Chain A
Amino acid sequence: MAKAPEQFETIAEMEAEARPGREGEPHGDDSLMGRFDRWDLRRFTGWDAVKAVALTTFLLLIFAGGSVHKAADELKPGLGRDIVKAVAGPAGWISDQLPLADTRRDLTSWLSPDQQLTGQGFRAAPGGAGRPTTQVPTTPQPLDRLLVTGDSLSTPLDIEIARKLADQGASVEVTRDPHLATGISNTGLVDWGQLSSSQAANDDPDAVVLFIGANEGYPMPGPNGQQVSCCGPAWEAIFQSRVGQMMDNYLQGGVQRIYWLTVPTQRDPARKPIADDVNQAVRAAAAERGAAVRVVDLIPTFTPGDRYRDSIDIDGKQTIVRESDGIHLNEDGSSVAADLVLQAVDRDFDY
């Protein structure tokens, strides 16, 4: 006769009893499907489960309903994002009516591993803000600290650059700071206007490598406060202004050189107008700042003729250089991009 739960010394003993035996086999059946029965835990109803989960959801709504909007910004455009956005409106409204979100922030902010970087880091209007005249050294300078940053495009490029420098025996401290799912045109997740200033101040790099552009194309406020949609000259001008402000933030923060990578053509033809505007804006902003900003153009190497391809010739062998999403570079591709970056860095720095 089976023992009652309280007759067992340990749960392990109960589980051993419950285990379907296979005598003689070196490895008994580990499924332990009956373990929750033997724990004597099934004493609630399905509706208790529903009520408990509903209470969890309700408490999250009143304490952190505002976060839903931010989460929606992280999602790829589509039905899922539309649904989350639809929930975000009322969730944010409910949360705003109560003082609980502030209480939650006050109580938990000390746990946050980094500062909040959402907000108004960019000036709204393109142009007119005056650019700093950057003095660029004419002879190679020592390179002690290199920051590699951007969106998801910047990794594993950052790792490849760090490895190549380490393999060369260079004593360069490489800071890797990717911010996945973020974009210059979308300040909801991370405001790159603020982040660039913060990186220059906190990391104190001699040079910055930037690879960003996988999540662009969001409407941005224009000079008169109206929303300007992608793509076209007006959107490109605002984007160029933002890129220029980021460049200025780095340069004013003590960075000597910026290496900004263009976005190679992506598989999805619908993304081409966005990438074209992004790249054009980067080139124009860099040209305004002279030798302080070098554009590392990846298009001739990865997508010559602006035509997407999965593989390129590396050392006489066709090699896949893109991830399956048709956007990112894989490890082999990032290694090639890292070589191009380091060729540019070699001209300006000793390490």
Chain B
Amino acid sequence: MLFPTIEFAIFFPIVLALSWALMPRQQIWKPFIVVASYVFYAAADPRFCLLLAAITLVSQLAVVAIHRTEDERLRKWFTAGGVVFDLGILAVFKYYGFFVSDVSDVLDSIHLGMPLPLVTIALPIGVSFFSFQAVTYVVDVKRRQTEPASLLDAAIYLSFFPHLVAGPIVRASEFLPQLKKPRDPDRVAVGAGLTLIALGLIKKVMIADYLAREVVDKVFAVPQAYSAPDAILAAYAYAAQIFCDFSGYTDMAIGLALLMGFVFPQNFNSPYRATGFRDFWRRWHMTLSRFLRDYLYIPLGGNRKGRVRTYINLMLTMALGGLWHGAAWNFVAWGAYQGTGLSAEHAINGRLGRIFPGWLRWFVTFNLIVVGWILFRSTDLSLFGDYMSALVRSGPATLYSVPVVGAILLVIGLQLLPERPMEGIELRLGRLRPLLLGAALAVVVLIVGATVPSQGVPPFIYFRF
């Protein structure tokens, strides 16, 4: 079930009302919210509910086993077992096809090939997100940063529908404490929740999908048919599209959770304001970057084992982070590109800030990030080559229009504005009366709905990940 659909518009008001009605009776509310979340997930494919249940059960078993022993060796083994299972599910469902088609070609060429059946495996929606959350649960308990929860609480944590299919990646230590007692029904950020839902809808349907339809999909489908002016426009348009698509989803997820009394971590913080790669990753998909930092980069040794190991760790972390986005070489290359940027920055070690002014660092960073997005959007590396050729091909501009250029400037420009005016707007909207905001949300939905083409609303980009 997707957020901007009629099914969800029927599902959510019922669940919200029942949730607040049952909230004081936690012994009823908890099973109810698990069932509601599984119904939400079953709308995509009921069979995948078994997968979600299996990850929950095995992670819980691992966590209980870890907690019950003081033997560090056993704790490590139980942790490894839980993590291998969670990531194994991800590997089988997400990377099997990639392995048998692409990786096995490489292995064949060095006579290490193995006969594996060529079958297609359906990608369960959200598996990348809930498997990572399961990993945080197991590892946080091993690190004694979180106490084991009951099976019911663990099931709520992993299946809670606002974050189930595309994050944000909420840590067990952030979510489980919110289940310890009923959410306070007198302290709900209704205004902020409704504002975020409306903002998310506008970002997704009116900006991201519009830019995709008018520019991005056309040029990235056949870059050979376009020249530099259109290719440049499409690259910036994609930067705006992917931000609005993913942060729009996140806004809706956070807003829905707020209406239910829960708080999720922030996932975006004006990423195109960044003045370096490290700064970018503190602002872009923040819950993924901190996952990669805390559960991969630091366990690999981080920056504690010398300069060369730091670069290797950065490259490995980012390449695997790239692969997390999809089973294709272009994502690995994109991750390696980010790792190279981070390593280069690390090597310069802050000297850039002393040599170059802030605006120049921003300009260079932003354009390097946009080049990275071209790699990310290209479905294969040859397409990336075609796109780079288009960037230097002379020819006419055919896709420029006031709404397109305006939308790109709006998305990027708003992130560059001083923070205070934007925060002021959010604060004022968040303080309006809920009924007024409810009516305003209806107006937004009607306007947004009118801009949907007959082809419908395309899925969120991150649903494929």
Contacts and interface: CB of A to CB of B under 8 A. Distances in A.
Interface string A148-160: 0000000000110
A129 interface: no
Chain A: interface residue count, which band? 35 or more
Interface string A52-67: 1111110110011001
A193 B456 CA distance: 19
A74 B12 CA distance: 20
B120 A12 contact: no
B265 A163 contact: no
B446 A64 contact: yes
Contacts, number: 219
Given A27-B293, A42-B189, A80-B7, A322 B455 contact: no
A174 interface: yes
B360 interface: no
A320 interface: yes
B451 A49 contact: no
B261 A55 contact: no
Nearest to B170: A31
A63 B10 contact: no
Contacts of B13: 50, 53-54, 57
B358 interface: no
Contacts of B431: 41, 43
B118 A51 contact: no
Contact of A31 (B121, B265, B430): B265
A47 B447 CA distance: 26
A29 B290 contact: yes
Contact of A30 (B119, B225, B265): B265
Contact of B282 (A30, A108, A111): A30
A53 B438 contact: yes
A49 B442 contact: no
Q: Which of A9, A30, A167, A178 has the most CB of B within 10 A?
A: A30
A49 B259 contact: yes
Interface in A30-45: 30-36, 39, 41-45
Contacts of B454: 114, 116-117, 179, 189-190
Contacts of A179: 454-455
A193 to B, nearest CB: 14
Contacts of B282: 27, 30
Nearest to A86: B10
A233 interface: no
A100 to B, nearest CB: 10
Given A42-B187, A111-B451, A162-B222, A51 B435 contact: yes
Nearest to A322: B120
Contact of B434 (A9, A44, A325, A331): A44
Nearest to B213: A113
Given A51-B434, A84-B10, A319-B101, A162 B225 contact: yes
Interface in A295-338: 310-311, 318-320, 322-326, 330-331
A320 B263 contact: no
Nearest to A176: B221
Contacts of A330: 120
B119 A310 contact: yes
Q: Which of B10, B23, B420, B452 has the most CB of A within 10 A?
A: B10
A112 interface: yes
Interface string A1-22: 0000000011110000000000
Contacts of A41: 189, 191-192, 427, 430-431
A163 B222 contact: yes
B222 A55 contact: no
B379 interface: yes
A71 B101 contact: no
A47 B265 contact: no
A274 B36 CA distance: 35
A159 B222 contact: yes
B240 to A, nearest CB: 18
B26 to A, nearest CB: 14
Given A56-B445, A331-B379, A46 B225 contact: no
Given A48-B190, A55-B439, A323-B120, A180 B222 contact: no
Interface in A186-200: 189-190
A91 to B, nearest CB: 9
B450 A109 contact: yes
Q: Which of B17, B174, B258, B260 has the most CB of A within 10 A?
A: B17
B10 A35 contact: no
Nearest to A69: B6
Given A71-B5, A117-B454, A12 B446 contact: no
A131 interface: no
A15 to B, nearest CB: 8
Given A33-B174, A162-B225, 15 more contacts: A30-B265, A35-B263, A36-B189, A45-B188, A48-B190, A64-B446, A83-B7, A111-B451, A113-B213, A114-B454, A116-B454, A174-B222, A189-B454, A320-B118, A324-B122
9 contacts: A30-B290, A36-B258, A45-B186, A52-B441, A57-B13, A59-B442, A71-B7, A162-B222, A178-B455
Interface of A: 9-12, 26-27, 29-36, 39, 41-57, 59-60, 63-64, 67-68, 71-72, 74-75, 80, 83-84, 87, 104, 108-109, 111-114, 116-117, 158-159, 162-163, 166-167, 174, 176, 178-181, 189-190, 310-311, 318-320, 322-326, 330-331
Nearest first, the 6 closest Cβ-Cβ pairs linking A and B are: A52-B438, A108-B450, A59-B442, A42-B187, A46-B20, A166-B224
